[in-house]
């Protein structure tokens, strides 16, 4: 009799076949004769006999097929893993990973709960827990969470009340440098062949300072020089000139913002403008950072300026068009980290 593929049999039929083969050999039939009679391999017969010798005839029973219907992790263990992934980085748990990957989670399960699973099973767990791979935001170790919470709960609401009381307008300001070699976006090409985009090998740049409101107003300056106190004061004068109401300007802690010369100028114009400072190392709290990213990506990153003048023209043109679309500026305030400033 030719050998048959027992994998095509039902679990109960497989179990019955194993028992019959073992019983026949125990009754005196040789292994070769049993192999021919039942159509199974000698290797399978040896495996079944060893299983019976190590246990009993019940070891020949069929085991459940496919993936387990229930997770090997208990409910509270799964909740603990999710909390670790969302609240901490692997290196904070003394693991040799910087980011949460399937391999990192696999090691976490093995170390904390003695559960050994494949990376594919880890991927199914993560999907079940509604966790997806994402590009993480960088946040400085030096950031003080208590200062951030105080800003959100106390300091900013106080600025809003004062601005309303004095009929003022709240601006959010920031400055940034732009480089000609900044690249953003993707381009189609043949699989495995990275597209090549020709561009100048010269490096040049310019700087930008801007301020926005949650009503969609935008003011900006583009300049070649370094960001210095005179440029800061010139921008403050521009804000005053463009607004009939008192300006309440929120900035980060850049040294120029806090310079003594700027402070003296603000004292002389305290009836027209007042400056407040965000908590240290907290750029995610500033809506103007989203304008910066927009400009870097769309005004510069997808263009190829050949000289500084062309680069400055590209940025100015993009900002002028954005000025005419207050809805775009207002949309920056919908991002979850700055939505507190939308009202």
- The answer to whether the pTM exceeds 0.75 is no
In the chain, % of residues over pLDDT 90: 61
Q: How confident is the model at residue 213 (pLDDT cuts 50, 70, 90)?
A: very high
Let me know: does 35 contact 45? Beta carbons within 8 Å.
yes
Question: In whole angstroms, how far apart are CA 209 and each of 110, 150, 185, 343?
Answer: 51, 27, 24, 24
Measured at the alpha carbon of residue 335, what is the angle toward residues 333 and 188, in degrees to the nearest 5? 120
Q: Tell me the pLDDT tens digit for each residue of 36-72.
A: 888 888 888 888 788 887 776 767 777 666 666 677 8
**Sequence-separated (6 or more) residues with CB below 8 Å from residue 60:** 15, 18, 19, 22, 48, 51, 52
Burial class (CB in 10 A: 0-12, 13-18, 19+), 247: buried
Q: Name the CATH topology of 145-186+199-341.
A: Nucleotidyltransferase; domain 5 (3.30.420)
pLDDT of residue 67: 65
Q: Which of 304, 299, 290 is nearest to 321 (CA)?
A: 299
Give the CA distances from residue 210 to residues 251, 324, 342, in Å, rounded to whole numbers and listed in that order: 11, 15, 18
Of 36, 40, 32, residue with least CA distance to 1: 36
DSSP helix/strand/coil, 102: helix
* 169 vs 161: CA distance, rounded Å: 11
| Measured distance CA(274)–CA(288) in Å, rounded | 18
């Amino acid at each position: 009799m030719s050998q048959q593929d027992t994998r095509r049999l039902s679990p109960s039929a497989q179990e019955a076949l194993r028992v019959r083969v073992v019983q026949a050999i125990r009754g005196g039939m040789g292994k070769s004769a049993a192999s021919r009679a039942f159509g199974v391999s000698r290797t399978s017969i040896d495996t079944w006999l060893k299983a019976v010798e190590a246990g009993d005839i019940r070891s020949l029973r069929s085991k459940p097929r496919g993936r387990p219907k229930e997770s090997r992790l208990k409910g509270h263990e799964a909740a603990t893993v999710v909390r670790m992934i969302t609240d901490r980085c692997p290196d904070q748990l003394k693991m040799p990973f910087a980011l949460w990957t399937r391999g990192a989670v696999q090691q976490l399960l093995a170390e904390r709960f003695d559960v050994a699973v494949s990376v594919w099973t880890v991927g199914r767990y993560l999907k079940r827990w509604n966790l997806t791979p994402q590009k993480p935001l960088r946040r400085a170790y030096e950031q003080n969470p208590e200062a951030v919470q105080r800003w959100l709960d106390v300091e900013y609401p106080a600025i809003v009340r004062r601005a309303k009381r004095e009929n003022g307008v709240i601006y959010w300001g920031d400055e940034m440098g732009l480089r000609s070699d900044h690249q953003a976006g993707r381009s189609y090409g043949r699989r495995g062949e990275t597209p090549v985009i020709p561009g100048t090998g010269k490096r040049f740049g310019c700087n930008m300072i801007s301020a926005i409101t949650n009503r969609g107003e935008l003011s900006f300056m583009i300049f070649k020089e370094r960001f210095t106190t005179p440029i800061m004061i010139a921008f403050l004068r521009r804000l005053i000139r463009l607004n009939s109401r008192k300006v309440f300007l929120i900035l980060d802690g850049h040294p120029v913002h806090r310079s003594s010369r700027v402070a003296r100028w603000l004292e002389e114009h305290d009836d027209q403008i007042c400056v407040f400072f965000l908590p240290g190392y907290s750029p995610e709290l500033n809506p103007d950072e989203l304008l910066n990213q927009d400009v870097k990506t769309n005004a510069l990153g997808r263009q190829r300026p050949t000289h500084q003048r062309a680069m400055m023209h590209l940025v100015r043109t993009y900002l002028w068009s954005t000025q005419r679309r207050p809805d775009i500026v207002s949309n920056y305030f919908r991002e979850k980290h700055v939505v507190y400033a939308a009202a």
